[in-house]
């Protein structure tokens, strides 16, 4: 019964989410078209058009339409910000329950793999549809949920210029993820202990991290990772690498200590794909497109505000450390100075 309710809620939410995204995308396209039209008028060398009253009137109308589009975009962004605070689930969330039995744990994760990879590809194709992935981009938003949990959502584009190999960047990303207790946590001055399942299939893995955030304050993170590197798929017909992570909701082997520990639920998609040249003057580029949503559950025993702020700020810092590590690995593979 619970599964049916969850499925219905998820399908209704996903429809609303994408309809809002489509509205914003349409407004962005309209604003861009108006801006191009206004620029053509301003750059027109025809003196008759430049001085004519009709041209001045058209110019003023275009400016007013651009202002109206900006106001509508601001209102749409407000809707999305409220959605982030109020939503119960997000488009990439899946309820995952693992037992103590190693074989059953692997079977459970394997049963989710294709579903997670397919959904993540669909999400990223829609999320990046109108973006120039050759250019760096970063969007970060955080808020407090209705129950007091802290939510941090990030979207970033990290281009690797003069790199043509998707596999090279994908391998660097995997190295950073598998060694994150050294690659990222140590750079942040945080001690992390990792416990993981020994998986025969490299396309799935499970890891649980226990981190001391402050004296007497521990944070636990338990997640599954699903990977694929391919020459193309039905959804994305170019070579690409995909890494999807999602939190484990219930783990009989590593039960959460909700009374005394912070809990970090992390869902993320990292898509590595090539960016085509628009002209011969441009270099080869491979970009990592990353979407991350973190939810930090406060322990039932309470937590000082300064510790909450520290943990919230740690999430984007951790992402930055991982990005730097991937660049270092890729540069080392190519025999270059990462700096």
Q: How far is CA 66 from CA 50, 52, 56, 106, 235, in A?
A: 20, 21, 15, 53, 34
Domain boundaries, the chain: 2-86, 97-334
Distance between CA 143 and CA 81 in Å, rounded?
9
User: Chunked in runs of 10, what are the mean pLDDT values of the chain (339 residues)?
Assistant: 41 48 67 66 54 69 80 78 67 92 95 96 94 94 87 94 93 88 77 80 91 85 96 93 97 94 94 86 90 91 82 87 88 68
* Model confidence pTM above 0.85: no
CATH class name, domain 97-334:
alpha beta
Q: Is 286:161 a contact under the CB 8 Å cutoff? A: no
* DSSP E strand stretches across the chain: 97-98, 137-144, 150-161, 192-196, 204-214, 217-230, 240-247, 250-251, 262-275, 285-297
β-strand 217-230 against 250-251: which pairing, if any? Answer: unpaired
Q: How far is CA 158 from CA 175, 269, 284, 339, in A?
A: 17, 13, 14, 15
Please tell me what DSSP assigns to residue 284: P
What pLDDT score was predicted for residue 88? 59
Q: Is 259:245 a contact under the CB 8 Å cutoff? A: no
Distance between CA 57 and CA 65 in Å, rounded?
12
Of 268, 286, 278, 281, which is closest to residue 327 (Cα–Cα)?
A: 286
Distance between CA 239 and CA 92 in Å, rounded?
22
Distance between CA 177 and CA 192 in Å, rounded?
14
Of 272, 94, 96, which is closest to residue 174 (Cα–Cα)?
A: 272
Residue 83 exposed, middle or buried by CB count within 10 Å (0-12, 13-18, 19+): middle
SS3 1: coil
């Amino acid at each position: 019964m619970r599964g049916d309710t969850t499925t219905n809620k998820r399908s209704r939410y996903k429809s609303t989410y994408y309809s809002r995204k489509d509205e914003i995308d349409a407004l962005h396209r309209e604003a861009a078209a108006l801006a191009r039209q206004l620029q053509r008028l301003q750059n027109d060398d025809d003196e008759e058009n430049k001085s004519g009253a009709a041209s001045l009137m058209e110019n003023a109308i275009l400016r007013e339409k651009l202002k109206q589009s900006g106001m509508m975009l601001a209102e749409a962004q407000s809707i999305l910000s409220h959605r982030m605070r109020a939503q119960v689930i997000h488009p990439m969330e899946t309820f995952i329950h693992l037992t103590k039995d190693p074989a059953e744990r692997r079977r459970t994760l394997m049963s989710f793999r294709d579903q997670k990879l397919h959904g993540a590809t669909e999400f990223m194709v829609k999320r990046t549809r109108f973006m120039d992935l050759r250019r760096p981009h970063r969007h970060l938003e955080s808020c407090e949920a209705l129950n007091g949990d802290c939510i941090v959502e990030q979207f970033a584009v990290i281009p690797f210029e003069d790199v043509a190999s998707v596999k090279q960047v994908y391998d660097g990303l995997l190295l950073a993820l598998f060694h994150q207790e050294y690659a990222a946590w140590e750079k942040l001055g945080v001690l992390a202990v990792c416990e993981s399942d020994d998986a025969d299939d490299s396309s799935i893995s499970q890891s649980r991290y226990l981190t001391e955030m402050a004296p007497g304050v521990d944070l636990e993170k338990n997640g599954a990772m699903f990977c694929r590197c391919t020459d193309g798929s039905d959804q994305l017909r170019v070579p690409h690498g995909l890494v999807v992570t999602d939190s484990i909701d219930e783990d009989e082997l590593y039960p959460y200590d909700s009374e005394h520990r912070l809990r970090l639920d992390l869902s993320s998609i990292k898509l590595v794909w090539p960016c085509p040249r628009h002209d011969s003057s441009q270099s080869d580029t491979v970009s990592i497109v990353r979407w991350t949503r973190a939810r930090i559950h406060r322990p039932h025993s309470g937590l000082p505000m300064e510790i909450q702020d520290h943990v919230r700020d740690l999430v984007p810092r951790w992402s930055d450390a991982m990005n730097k590590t991937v660049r270092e690995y890729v540069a080392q593979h190519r025999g270059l100075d990462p700096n």
